[in-house]
Amino acid sequence: MLRQAQNEVFIEGILSEVDIKKGSYMKDGETVETIGGTVKIRVDQTINNNPVTCEIPVSVFSTKYNKEGKENGIYKAIESMATDLTSIAASSVEEADRVRVSGSSRFANGNIQMNEYYNASGNLVSFPRIHASFINRIRKDECKPKATFTLEFAIASMDYETDADGVQTDKYLIKAIVPQYGGKVDIVPLYAVSPNVIDGITSNWQEKDTVLAKGRLNFSAKTETYIEDLGFGEAEEKTRTINTSELILTGGAPEPREGDFAFDVGEIQQALTERKARLDELKEKATNGAKVRKAPVPAANAKGFDDLGF
């Protein structure tokens, strides 16, 4: 089976908001108790030499009991987030707790996954989401705000981004195939904005390569003013908020991984085929509201990544 990629997130900042709730669902005729929600962490950091205030949403979730019927330690940890931590929303920036999410710590596990679903119009909605098992309180004088990631992936495609009108932008887009737990894959968009980073990518990486890269999490919002002119009469000044959820590459290993350290092309293609089947089923359910039976998954095409599922 396709091995899981190295996928680590490190966040240090101020606890901004806590939205955690208890719930339940039915499985095999029994009620499964759960707890989950979103914790936002405010991080002031520099991205491509520009100061950015990020509000990074971190998703947490756990069932109350594990497979052995014992109370889950992660459930208790999430429960304590809601009761023991102080956020900006509940108090002030000065009083709020400083926290850390660390994928490399034995006390925490932060990683990047894609949240994907189809709306009623049949359009795929896809954006990166940060998941964590634990969020740790740290001392105020210990906090050094930053939000970074380390990610291993196979390159599906790489080229300059184009906007809705087909015009090339100055951002370089890599569609990264990230193997997750259980052999599933996510297609994660990664952006390079620094000319030095773009040059390093184009000089050393190619499609289908397995590579390791580092970057910064940019979950931010900005308000801009624009003029709405309907054609005649007085133009109206309006404002709008633009939300950004991007993974910005800041560097990487120049040499692609080889041999046993590289992802197998055939296994990647098979995982992509299975991903497309899952997305097709989600689309059918969203547009028709009816559950459909999965079609048999065809054999992998070992020649390349010829179908990303969208």
Domain CATH for 130: 2.40.50.140
Answer yes or no: is 300 within a domain.
no
Residue 199 in domain: yes
What's the token pair of residue 50?
């520009």
In this prediction the pTM is 0.86
- What is the structure's pLDDT at 33? 96
Establish if 302 belongs to a structural domain: no
Residue 309 lies in a domain: no
Q: Which domain holds residue 120?
A: 7-288
Burial 143-178 (b: 16+ CB within 10 A, else e): bebbbbbbbbbbbbebeeeeeeeeeeeeebbbbbbb
Tell me whether residue 134 is in a domain. yes
* Residue 297 domain-assigned (yes or no): no
Nearest to 107 by CA among 149, 135, 79: 135
Burial class for 213, CB neighbours closer than 10 Å (0-12, 13-18, 19+):
buried
Alpha-carbon span 49 to 35, nearest angstrom: 39
**Residue 9, exposed/middle/buried by CB under 10 A (0-12, 13-18, 19+)?**
buried
Domain count, the chain: 1
Query: Looking at residue 302, what is its pLDDT?
Result: 43
For 168, the token pair is 């090339």
On whether residue 95 sits in a domain, the answer given is yes
Task: Name, in order, each residue with C-beta under 8 angstroms of 50's C-beta and a sequence gap of 6 or more.
Answer: none
* Amino acid sitting at position 237: E
Distance CA(84)–CA(256), nearest Å, equals 44
Cα–Cα distance list, 247 to 12, 75, 170 (Å): 16, 29, 15
Would residue 181 count as lying in a domain? yes
Contacts of 2 (CB under 8 A, 6+ apart): 179, 183, 185, 263, 264, 267, 268, 270, 271
Residue 249's nearest CA partner among 222, 206, 212, 220 is 212
**Predicted confidence pLDDT, tens digits, the chain (310 residues):** 899 999 999 999 999 999 999 999 999 999 999 999 999 999 999 998 999 999 999 999 999 998 888 999 999 999 999 999 999 999 999 999 999 998 654 444 799 999 998 888 888 999 999 999 889 999 999 999 999 999 999 999 999 999 989 999 999 999 999 999 999 999 999 999 999 999 999 999 999 999 999 999 999 988 888 888 777 778 888 888 888 999 999 999 999 999 999 999 999 999 999 999 999 998 888 887 644 444 454 544 444 566 565 4
